Structure 1
Amino acid sequence: MSDKDIIIPQSIYSELIEKNRDLLPFEGCGILSGSNRYVKTAWYLDNELRSPNRFFVNKQIVEDTVMKIQEKQEDILAVYHTHPNTSAIPSSLDLKNHIDNEIDMVIISFKYKEPILKWYSIHGVKYAERLFLIDKL
């Protein structure tokens, strides 16, 4: 394990997969928060577009969620969304609409039988995959 690896508890990882599988064929989206690269909370947000290839969340809902994250004294680690039918790779639209290069992007792909979660750091139109570990405790 590197001091730069992200750690996701097994319970949060499993919940992310199951809750977002239930939203198919539409994209799911939300925020992952925590501290010191350790995910503590998944915030499930409603995709108001109900679309299989785009998502949108009202600005006020996002701001309210950010306030709740701050009240828990956690940091926003990543914004996540799903790709119901495509690979877990950021699209040009994903990169264009990404909110902040200080916040990572997580994509969960349901293209294949087994879902694939990938974690990325974003730098404008470039991205780099980050390692994450699932904490089975």
Structure 2
Amino acid sequence: MINEIKILKKDMALIQAELEANKPYEACGVLIGTINGSTALVEKALPVTNAKRTRRSFELDPKEHYDAWNEAEKDGKEIVGVYHTHPVSSAVPSLWDRETMENAPSVWLIAGADGMRAYVWENGVKAVEITEY
């Protein structure tokens, strides 16, 4: 199980900028890197168009998501997680997030109106420590 996500400060800033730029709608993207034991090392946060463009949910644009997956694979990396924003609520998984997380076992980083938090699904939602580097 992943219990820590390491992410570059510039990528945290990018995600925060995405939150601000897309308000009041949710923004989303993928986290590209590697998994080493129980740590997900994010080497790049890549914005992906929110195909839903709503205030309460997101859907990664399928073509952009596929292109990101191919880009990661070519570089010997993988998509270790996704991020999305909750511009008008806290950084906790919504009911929709929880239902989707159960079927998408990776790190979910949520940037909310009250900061950023990360989660994984392991028989329920589990918090993951975020370490900036």
**Would the TM-score normalized by the shorter structure come out above 0.5?**
yes
Letter of the 2:9 counterpart: Q
2:41 counterpart of 1:38:
yes
Matches for 1:1-137 after TM superposition, within 5 Å = 4-35=3-34, 36=36, 37-98=40-101, 99-101=103-105, 103-110=106-113, 112=114, 116-123=115-122, 126-135=124-133
The structure with more radius of gyration: 1
Separation in structure 2 between the aligned mates of residue 58 and residue 7 of structure 1, nearest angstrom: 25
In the alignment, the residues of structure 1 paired with residue 5 and residue 58 of structure 2 have an alpha-carbon distance, to the nearest angstrom, of 25
Deviation at 1:61, TM superposition (A): 2.6
AA aligned to 1:117 is M
Q: Give unpaired runs (5+ residues) of structure 1.
A: none
Q: Which has the higher helix share?
A: 2
Residues 58 and 121 of structure 1: CA distance in aligned 2, closer, same or farther (over 3 Å): same
> Does the 8 Å contact 1:29/1:80 carry over to 2?
yes
Q: Indicate how the Cα distance of structure 1 residues 64 and 14 shifts in structure 2: closer, same or farther if over 3 A, else same.
A: same
How many pairs does the alignment contain? 127
Q: Deviations over 1:25-82 (max 9, x none)?
A: 1000011011232210111011122211111233233222211111121122211111
- Divergent runs of 4+, >6 A: none
SS in 2 for 1:22: helix
Matches of 1:16 and 1:85, distance apart in 2: 15
Aligned amino acid, residue 96 of structure 2: L
Is the contact between residue 49 and residue 64 of structure 2 (CA under 8 Å) also seen in structure 1? no
Matches of 2:44 and 2:78, distance apart in 1: 10
